[in-house]
Structures are given as structure tokens and as C-alpha cells.
A and B are shown apart, each in its own frame.
Chain A
């Protein structure tokens, strides 16, 4: 995973609530086997007509938001299906941070595995930032110093757990850490768990 560096960018505002992962990445593209190249399917059915022409008033089709790295959305962003493709489509498009009052839980944990910051702010503040985004304000996501700035002025602290912050900043792979640091603990736990609940460790024969 790429280390998270400070972002400065326009922000695209999608005020709708409950933007589910089917909207972010329609199911029919889940048949693709790759993680790469999925940015083109981001919001496919809202961003493009059936024949592939861009929908002119969809925010990501309008300058200066076409290459916005920040997305601001209503509550419940990423609810629904657990598909990680929703995150890969966002990052594939170049989005590094989504700001919303709440997120689908699986979406939020998927984001953190892929260098995408899910930033929770109050409903009021989100709407306020959305309004500023619309008129072209520049957002700065400074994770190092835990601060969100709009047009250079600090508007909110970036308040996420320290482990998640470190993982994003350093681009850590969680499995690497588990494998390197927790292997013995996992093995020891497994041994005592096996003794307590041996029926969970029968060999599966189908």
C-alpha cells in the first residue's frame, strides 16, 4: 500500500445519503478479476449513460471536480455489499479521502486497507464543507498533523485511531504485521482454543 501523503485538491460533493456500494461499483463488473483499472467503473450508472456518454451534470464529469481527490457525501456512504471493488474504483479514479457523517462499516475497513481515508465529520460540518466544495474551495488533508484545512484555514481535526493513522501514513500491510509480529500469539491462542473447543478442529471431509 502506498503511504498516504498530504493531499491538496478540489472536493467533489455528492449530498445524497446511503450511497451504497452498488451505486459506487455496479455488481456486473464484479466479474473482473483485477484490482487495477476499476476507476472507469466508478459510479458507472450515474456517471455515464448506457451508451457510455458522460452524464453532464454528474459532479465527477464537471470541471474542476473531474480530478478531485476528495469526495464529500451524505451519511451511510458505502453501505450495502462488502465489495472491495468500491474502494478500488475510488482509489483507481484518484480519490484519497471520503468525508461523510457515517460510513458502511465494511466499506470503512476496506478503505483503510487500501490507503483511502474515510473521515467522519458531523452532519452539519459535512454539509457546510459540501457547500464550500461546490464553489471550488481547495481542501487540504494533512494526516501527518491531523488537520483538515479548507482554503488554507483549519476547519476540523482529523480524528482517527492512531493505529489506522500510522498504517495509512506508512503504507503498512496489515497481514505483514500480523504475520511478522503475531504469529506466536496466534499459535498459542489456537492451541488453547483447540483444547477448550476441540469440535472446532475436526478435519473437514466433504
Chain B
């Protein structure tokens, strides 16, 4: 057989049939559900009198709209309460495995799936959420879908799609301290553009990726959608297998042995041809932040805001001008030192234990700057418990950060955690779109350590300067 890419291997092992028009019907092994994207999916399924295809292919958890405070009380916002209640009723009616809000395992779908062993190498996984690409970090073919498609997947366990083109992103070089997966993801998006990988499935490869922890791999795959790619993936290796072993829903014993034998075949063959190859060298990279309203608007922290006049294309020049005015920034000014009002550490991009450790390392012995509101939201209750056990929660509280219960929180600002108009936020989330963290709010994306550094200085800060040369 000809040499194949990882994507092609997983894709072809899930094709139920190929149609003449070039699309295929593919089998979906796993479906993750949350409260926001599924009410209409259940309605559509039930209107037609259809039933759920296979119970154990599904896992549901509320995350987007849930409050991160006062979790022992009923949800205060009537709309959020109704939506969460709707999920409870829907999953009960179809006997879908469900993690309720008061369960320690509750959290953001993309943190919970891998954490519970629901996400496995070689599977197809769908969820009504664009950051489903996160799960590709385990060597899964995972992609976001819309609410109608969620209904289709629930009823049939299948979906009609076109095979994506493939793009390999090879990451080479030596990372300096404080250069995280987030910096690499943003650097890639800046390089290829917010639509640069549109129509492609990205595979991340190379020595820097092999050396990454699972949390970092998830950060990287998570951000794939911000370059337009529906899918980001990394070939499973010993790091992956170690991560999976012992997770509650992962196979054990002889079943695990069989699975491992298969999972070890899941890598791009040496002669596999990608439609596109991109190489990112990380040597000499500085920590980056975004300045505008697209994740491609990236600057090294020691850089200056680009001038619209320098952009020859009129449409892009217009977008830059609009972004500068929305963000309240001046062309050619240094980004470092820009005062902030808020800090958000969390989300499916950077709400895992290692992210909290990195932020806590900066918060240790320091205080949140006066006038800055900084919140830390763990990606799941289990992440939160571990953070508590390691003393991170104590560090955050002592430093003046608010410690919250798990959920999407200020990444999408649906649950009451949001910016006021004009407020500026150093955020570890994934989108700096206009109004993303609240109407009129201004978002700068960055790594957890950089966000923590901003919290303690009150402005966008080069974490390397803060900790000094010793780090």
C-alpha cells in the first residue's frame, strides 16, 4: 500500500461509503455534547421520531453557560438555567452518559473528553463546537460540527463529509524558557493567516512536538481552527499512551494491549505526501500576544503595533484600522506596557493543570496589580482538585486572583463572567474577536505565564523580564 498520512489512515478506516460526487459517509466513533449546541439537535431528532443510535458513543457535560461561582445554588440566569435543565432532560430521555454540574468530573468538553479516556487514538470524534480539534492531540480525527449535524450523528453515528487536504506543520529548533505551545500556535496562525489552513487537516510533527506534554499538544491542536483548519492532529506516541493508561473510560488489560498494537500504526508513513508543508522554527522566538481582533494579529511582546498605512491591500488596511480603533490602540506604539483591566486564565486552550502551574509560578510571591481583576477558571473540576492539592489555589488566592469553578467562563462570556465595554483583558483563551469576552471588551491572547505576568504588573508584560535572566 502506498505511504499514507495519519489523517488518511484514520479517514479511510472510517469510510462507510464513497459517493460519486467526491464526498464520503464516515462513521463517527464518539460524540461529545454540551448544553449550548444541542437543544435544537435533540428537537430535530425527536421531531422525526428518531432514536439515539448508540448510547455509549456519547458523553454529555454542561460547560458553556454554567456559572463559575455559587455552584451550590440554582443557576441565577433564567436562560442559562433553562438551557442546562434542557440538557439534563434530553440526556435522561435518551439515557446518554452525563456528567452533571455538581460532579467533580464536570468541566469543558475538550478537557473532560481526554481526561476521562473518552478520547482515544484512531477514533473519529465530533462535537458541536469548533475547538473539537483539541482531541487530535491524542491522534484522533476530531472536528467541530453544527447543531443539525449533531442531530445527524446522534441518530445515525455517521456524517457525510469531504476528505480534507493535508498540511504538515513541522516544528523545529530549541524553545527558550517561557515559549509555550500557545506561542507556537499563534506564531503559526500569524504566518499562514486565519484562513491559511482552510480546507486542510493539520498534522503537527517534528522534534518540538515529540517533546511536548499532552497538555501542550492539546493547546496546539485546539488552536488549529483559528488558522481555518477544522482538524489538527498529532501521531500518538509513548507520551500519548502513558497519558491514556488508567483513565476511567480507556480500555484495560488485554483490550488495551490490542488497542496499543493498533495505535502504534497510527503515524504518517515516511513517504507520505502532504498537500502542503510548513516549517516553524522556534529558536529565538519571543513570547507573543495578539493586538487585534483576529488570532492572526500577533506580535512578539517586544514588538510594535503595525501601522495600517503599511498594508498595501485596501481591505486588510481597513480591517487593521477597525481593529486599532476597536482595541483602542495606536499604530506603531510598543505593545508592551499597555495597561489592562482584567486577566482570564482558563479555557479549553489553557485551562489544564500545567497551564495553572505556569501561571502560579509567576503569581508566587507577587500580587495582582491594583485595579486589575484576575480570574482563574480550571478546565475541569478534576484539574481544580489537583490544583488545590498542589497548593496552586492557595498561591492564586494569596496573590489576589479569584479562583472559580470549572467551565468556559470568560472565554465566551455566556455565563455572566464578562468584560465591560472598553475593558482590556490579558486572556489565555483562543479568540480575540470583537465582543468575544463581552460586548465592547478588548482581548489580548497569550500564554498562561504571560497572562499571569500581566496580572501582577497591570500591563502587557514580557514574562522574561519579570522573572529576570535566571529563568
What is A's interface to B at a CB cutoff of 8 Å?
A: 15-18, 20, 22-23, 26-28, 30-35, 45, 50, 74-76, 79-84, 87, 102, 104-106, 109-110, 113-114, 127, 161-163, 173-176, 178-179, 182-183, 185-186, 189-190, 193, 197-206
Contact = CB atoms under 8 A, between A and B. Distances in A.
Given A33-B82, A106-B146, A189-B27, A200 B123 contact: yes
Most buried by B among A15, A35, A105, A204: A105
Interface string B430-443: 01011110010000
A84 B25 contact: no
B152 A175 contact: yes
A182 B251 contact: no
7 contacts: A28-B413, A33-B83, A45-B434, A76-B195, A183-B156, A203-B56, A206-B248
Interface stretch (B211-219, B232-240, B312-320): B312-320
Interface residues of B, number: 87
A114 B148 contact: yes
Given A17-B315, A106-B144, A80 B431 contact: yes
Interface string B5-34: 000000000101101011101010100000
A27 B438 CA distance: 9
Given A81-B129, A186-B25, 9 more contacts: A20-B431, A20-B433, A31-B36, A33-B39, A87-B146, A105-B199, A178-B158, A178-B160, A179-B155
A202 B56 contact: yes
Contacts of A205: 97
Contact of A23 (B19, B249, B255, B434): B434
Contacts of B208: none
Contact of B258 (A50, A198, A206): A198
B29 A200 contact: yes
Contact of A27 (B16, B248, B412): B412
A182 B146 contact: no
A27 B145 contact: no
Interface in B33-68: 36-37, 39-40, 43-45, 48, 50, 54-56, 59, 64-65
Given A82-B130, A197-B122, A204 B97 contact: yes
A176 B225 CA distance: 29
B319 A28 contact: no
Contacts, number: 204
B79 interface: yes
Given A105-B199, A178-B156, A76 B228 contact: yes
A43 to B, nearest CB: 11
Contacts of B99: 206
Interface centre among B120, B199, B433 (most CB of A within 10 A): B433
A79 B55 CA distance: 31
Contacts of A27: 412-414, 435-436
B136 interface: no
Nearest to B250: A199
Contacts of A110: 146-149
B157 interface: yes
Contacts of A185: 16-17, 25
B264 to A, nearest CB: 14
A82 B433 contact: no
A193 B23 CA distance: 20
A197 B21 contact: no
B375 interface: no
B198 interface: yes
A173 B156 CA distance: 13
B27 A186 contact: yes
Given A16-B322, A45-B435, A102-B195, A82 B156 contact: no
B256 interface: yes
B208 to A, nearest CB: 27
A123 to B, nearest CB: 9
A199 B27 contact: no
Contacts of A82: 37, 128-130, 144-146
A18 B414 contact: no
Given A23-B434, A163-B23, A186-B27, A199 B144 contact: no
Contacts of A22: 431, 433-436
Contacts of A33: 39-40, 82-83, 86
A31 B80 contact: yes
B433 A23 contact: yes
B444 interface: no
* Residue from B120, B315, B322 with most neighbouring chain A CB atoms (10 Å): B315
A186 B172 CA distance: 42
Interface string B246-289: 00110100011011001000000000000000000000000000
A127 to B, nearest CB: 8
B127 to A, nearest CB: 9
Contacts of A173: 48
B230 interface: yes
A31 B75 CA distance: 13
Given A113-B148, A189-B16, A190-B157, A201 B130 contact: no
B299 interface: no
Contacts of B230: 105-106
B281 to A, nearest CB: 26
A174 B160 contact: yes
A35 B146 CA distance: 13
B151 interface: yes
Contacts of B105: 206
B455 interface: no
A18 B322 contact: no
Contact of B435 (A23, A79, A102): A23
B194 interface: yes
Contacts of B259: 197, 199
B120 to A, nearest CB: 7
A45 B439 contact: yes
Interface in B153-181: 155-158, 160-161
Interface in B56-107: 56, 59, 64-65, 77, 79-80, 82-83, 86, 97-99, 105
